[in-house]
């Protein structure tokens, strides 16, 4: 599977490429509701031959606005109100950058930091607070996200991803918005999410798990914990998808690394048959073409 939007110049090429048999994921994170009508119109004219899924953001913390007038420190607004003991470290850029959160204001949505991270923070980006005191408050779906869901539901979308699933009520609330007969892939991206599937999750038709390793790798206590987490998700759902941090060497080099091919073999050997490339890989046609070709070569040489 790949992550694309119909407005990407290379969308038409890959939406009709049967090597992407798993389908195309449309990620709502960086898209405003006002952009969706345009994307849906482009999707209809493209007439994709592979299935498409709309990825809905639930309780995931994402940046709504950054106060650029504040030259002293990073000052941002979140999509969800939170409670957390401060000061506390906050991770950005999938764990590659960080800053110390000094205080939370404005009902829990405004975060003011001591200084800031090394790199610019943009609206739409996610962040991570791994402190056990963190509480995400209010409804799981923001009004903006509900608008996006309704537009895609009205357009006939029946396949969905749901981010940061941590309890059965998340699924029930989502089904109230999209109906009971949709296909939903539940992205497990946190320690509470892992605890949920270990204790509560019940496999049924139309419901499957996703080892969403882009965020999950940042959220687990220790880096090597991702291995047990990846196995646990598959043990709870043999149809599970594994996503992100796959073939990343292609971003820097034209030939995938030995380590990347070895990891594909490990994922295949433990039982994964559904794999999702990360967003970064799919932004450029050349990178995605290389990754898809590498998967095809792997399939023919090893996974046959």
* Statement to judge: residues 181 and 96 lie in one domain: no
Number of domains the chain is built from? 2
Q: Which domain holds residue 104?
A: 63-136
- Please state the rounded mean pLDDT for residues 94-107: 95
Per-residue pLDDT, 295: 94
Residue in 258, 264, 259 with CA at minimum distance from that of residue 292: 264
Same domain, 14 and 82: no
Residues 112 and 143 in one domain: no
| Share of residues in the chain with pLDDT > 90 (%) | 89
Residue 221 C-alpha from the chain's centroid: 19
Same domain, 235 and 293: yes
Distance CA 102, CA 99 (A): 9
Q: What is the mean pLDDT of residues 64-77?
A: 95
Start-to-end C-alpha separation, the chain: 18
Q: Tens digit of pLDDT for each residue in 180-203?
A: 889 999 999 999 999 999 999 999
- Same domain assignment for residues 101 and 52: no
Closest by CA position to 109, among listed 145, 75, 132, 85: 75
- Count other Cβ atoms within 10 Å, centred on residue 107: 10
Q: pLDDT at position 33, please? A: 76
54 and 104, same structural domain? no
Q: Model pTM?
A: 0.94
Do 105 and 202 belong together in one domain?
no
Cα–Cα distance for residue pair 291/304, rounded to 1 Å: 18
Last residue of some domain: 136, 170, 190? 136
Same domain, 169 and 248: yes
Write the CATH number for 36. 3.20.20.60
The answer to whether residues 165 and 236 belong to one domain is yes
* pLDDT tens string 132-188: 999 999 999 999 999 999 999 999 999 999 999 999 999 999 999 998 889 999 999
Single residue among 136, 164, 188 that ends a domain in this structure = 136
pLDDT at residue 32 tops 80: no
pLDDT in the model for residue 248? 94
39 CB neighbour count, 10 Å cutoff? 18
């Amino acid at each position: 599977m790949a992550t694309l939007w119909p407005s990407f110049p290379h969308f038409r090429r890959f939406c009709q490429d049967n090597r992407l048999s798993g389908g195309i994921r449309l990620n709502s994170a960086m898209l405003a509701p006002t952009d969706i009508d345009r994307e849906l119109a482009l999707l209809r004219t493209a007439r994709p031959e592979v299935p498409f899924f709309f990825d809905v953001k639930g309780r995931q913390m994402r940046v709504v606005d950054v106060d650029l007038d504040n030259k002293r420190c990073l000052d941002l607004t979140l999509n969800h109100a939170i409670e957390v003991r401060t000061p506390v470290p906050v991770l950005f850029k999938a764990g590659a950058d960080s800053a110390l959160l000094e205080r939370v204001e404005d009902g829990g949505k405004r975060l003011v930091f001591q200084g800031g991270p090394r790199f610019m923070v943009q609206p739409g980006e996610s962040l991570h607070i791994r402190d056990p005191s963190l509480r995400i408050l209010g409804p799981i779906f923001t009004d903006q996200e509900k608008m996006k869901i309704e537009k895609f539901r009205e357009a006939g979308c029946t396949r969905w991803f749901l981010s940061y699933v941590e309890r059965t009520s998340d699924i029930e609330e989502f089904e109230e918005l999209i109906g009971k007969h949709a296909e939903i892939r539940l992205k497990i991206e946190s320690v509470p999410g892992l605890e949920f599937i270990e204790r509560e999750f019940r496999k049924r038709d139309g419901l499957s798990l996703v080892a969403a390793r882009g965020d999950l790798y940042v959220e687990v206590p220790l880096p090597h914990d991702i291995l047990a987490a990846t196995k646990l998700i598959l043990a709870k759902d043999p149809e599970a998808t594994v996503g992100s941090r796959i073939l990343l060497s292609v971003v820097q080099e034209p030939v995938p690394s030995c380590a990347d091919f070895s990891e594909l073999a490990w994922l295949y050997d433990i039982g994964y048959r559904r794999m999702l490339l990360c967003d970064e890989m799919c932004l450029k046609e050349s990178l995605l073409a290389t990754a898809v070709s590498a998967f095809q070569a792997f399939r023919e040489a090893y996974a046959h």
